[in-house]
Chain A
Amino acid sequence: MTKLTERHYTYWFLLPAGIIYFVFFLLPAFLSFFFSLTRWTLTDWEFIGLQNFITFFKEDSLRIGFRNTLIYAVTTSGLKVIIGLLLGNALCSNLKTRDYLRSVVFFPTLLSTIAVGVAFAKMMHPTRGIINQGLALLGIQGPDWLGNIKLALFSVALVDVWKGVGLATVIYIAGIMSIPLEYYEALQVDGGNNWHKFRYITLPLVRPAMHSVIILSFIGGLRSFDLIWAMTKGGPGFATDVIASIIYKQYQAGFYGLSTAGNVILFIAVALLGVPLYRFLTKREVEL
């Protein structure tokens, strides 16, 4: 009897949430692992072992998708981390236009990804698009942003950065604001300049924020789909196809087992890259 009163609540209270979690999250996850090993037509399935995974890696387009996903994730994540840090640092100094700049940098985050993709695809039109028209005014012959096989993926990545850098900046600003002002005062007493402030105080102490930005933007980059679909639908050819868009195309074509296998591969890739990255980053954090 005493044992019951020691606890605040009985474990039965966990049951409703547990059932919902099991039915809507754990069960589908395990089912998808299972169906990735089958030839699946929604009503009927046949066990074929690892055949789906072998097909997935044998097909050229799928390998390209894998490579593109990595390129896309590294490019967007890297640019967001660097540009976000510079913007966050600049927007924490006492500029007169600071509040204006902060809100403008954040505002693309509020827009719908599809709308941004459609608008930018129009602006990147090789001859009539306003980006190339603007470059022509400066005497520069603008490239075919979305039609050039080598450039298309980076054009989409650039739009992703345009849209996502605001969120990174906000995380950085929060991180920089939490650094005690005494450190900066101490540095001023010792005669340090602005560069020293950035290099020896902001940079080491903003690490936790930087790690959040790296993890969030990298995993977001690996899973990205909507912007790519809105801008290029994976084209030209397979130049901007990523794993998510390939899975979608396979699913549309009715290869349910194959696309589920693709999803499992994407999950494994995110876990294999994300978990060690997270471990590596948290080990290097310093206490404030």
Chain B
Amino acid sequence: MSRSIRQFLGEALGVLATVVIFWIPFYFVIVNAMKNETEAAALNLSWPSEVRLVENFKEAITSGNHMLLRAFYNSILITLL
């Protein structure tokens, strides 16, 4: 019994560590991708007041004369060659 409890605690600790070390940075990037400029500059984890995911993505893709699409095309080209 105590053995299975110890294993459970060990696994829970491992999963908790992955949440802190891997998921929080990932969440940080995702949640900041949805914020407007002033809120994103605060660099925190709070949920944005208005979700601007689609607008931000649209802006990122269209900025610099669709630079991002060209960059993706280039990356794919290099990978395939």
Residues of A within 8 A of B (CB): 90, 95-97, 100-101, 104-105, 107-108, 115, 119-120, 122-123, 125, 128-130, 133, 162
B14 partner residues in chain A, CB cutoff 8 A: 90, 95, 97, 101
A120 partner residues in chain B, CB cutoff 8 A: 25
- A122/B11 in contact, CB under 8 A: no
- If over half of B's interface residues share one DSSP class (helix, strand or loop), that class is named, otherwise mixed; here it is helix
- Nearest chain B CB to A95 CB, angstrom units: 6
- A-B contacts at CB below 8 angstroms, number: 43
* Alpha-carbon gap, A129 to B45, bound state (A): 10
- A123/B28 in contact, CB under 8 A: yes
- B15/A133 in contact, CB under 8 A: no
Extra A-B contacts (7), CB below 8 Å, given A96-B11, A108-B22: A95-B11, A97-B15, A104-B18, A119-B29, A123-B43, A128-B44, A130-B28
- B42/A128 in contact, CB under 8 A: yes
- A128/B22 in contact, CB under 8 A: no
- A122/B22 in contact, CB under 8 A: no
- B11/A107 in contact, CB under 8 A: no
- B11/A97 in contact, CB under 8 A: yes
Contact with A along B17-61 (1 / 0, CB 8 A): 010011111001100000000000011110000000000000000
Which residue of chain B lies nearest to A125 when distances are taken between CB atoms in the complex?
B43
- Nearest chain B CB to A277 CB, angstrom units: 29
Which residue of chain B lies nearest to A100 when distances are taken between CB atoms in the complex?
B15
Which residue of chain A lies nearest to B8 when distances are taken between CB atoms in the complex?
A96
- A101/B21 in contact, CB under 8 A: no
* Alpha-carbon gap, A208 to B19, bound state (A): 32
Say yes or no: A104-B22 contact (C-beta < 8 A), given A123-B43, A133-B44.
yes
